[in-house]
Amino acid sequence: MTLEKVIPYLKVKKLDRWALNYRFDKLEAIEGLRKLYKVFNEDEILVTTSFGTKSIYLIHLISQVNPGQKIYFVDTGFHFKETLRYKEMIEDIYDVNIISLHPDEEPHRLTEEEEWWNEHPKMCCTINKIAPLDHIVMQHKVWVSSLMAYQTSFRAGLQMFEKQGDILKYHPLLHLPEAKFNEELDKLKLPMHPLAHVGYGSIGCTHCTIKGEGRAGRWSDRGQTECGLHVKYYTKK
């Protein structure tokens, strides 16, 4: 009996990462998301967005597949004003449920007063971007992320499903080529982040983002390519 015949008879939620990758790897992003909601309940699925230059496509897909899905945004306190305005515009256009999270006030104030993004950028990210999501991550089984393989060498090495501590990360856009991604944006006439039009290929906090192609403008002088959300291991307490 082939694997395709065996798998449907298994209890899907007990499938290991290998089996999930086998079933999802060749699916288009929207097909994969639809299947995800057949495998997991809505309250088991975590969706996050940074409202960066590439965020809109996943938001669009979620609005098509399950518009009631909660989408979490970490407001680090250091975003460009254009990012916050963009977020408000997307909320007005799409029927999506955006929930903003914020870092704890005291450690955030310390990072701001001492400008930790200069000497301690990884710790600054941990306090302002990773920690606010920590308790949310623990409440879910699978985390939908819009990472794409062409963006960095780290992302190129990922699979559709990756185990990250006690949560699965699912990357429905992973195999989407950059040219195809841009074609989809044009075809759907999706609203882009305003800074994307003036030379910002990737956008995070103001102190650690400059103009640049792709992710070249992120932490450009700090030897860092990720904030930690995608490489940190979350372990349930």
**Residues marked as catalytic:** 227
Does residue 93 contact residue 184 with C-beta atoms inside 8 Å?
A: no
The DSSP code sequence of 103-171 is --HHHHHHHHHTTHHHH-HHHHHIIIIIHHHHHHHTT-SEEE----TTS-HHHHT--SEEEETTEEEE-
Write the single-letter amino acid at 232. K
Residue 163: phi and psi, rounded to 5, are -85, 130
Q: At how many degrees (to 10) do helices 17-24 and 29-39 cross? A: 140
The DSSP code sequence of 8-69 is GGS-GGG--HHHHHHHHTTS-HHHHHHHHHHHS-GGGEEEEE---TTHHHHHHHHHHH-TT-
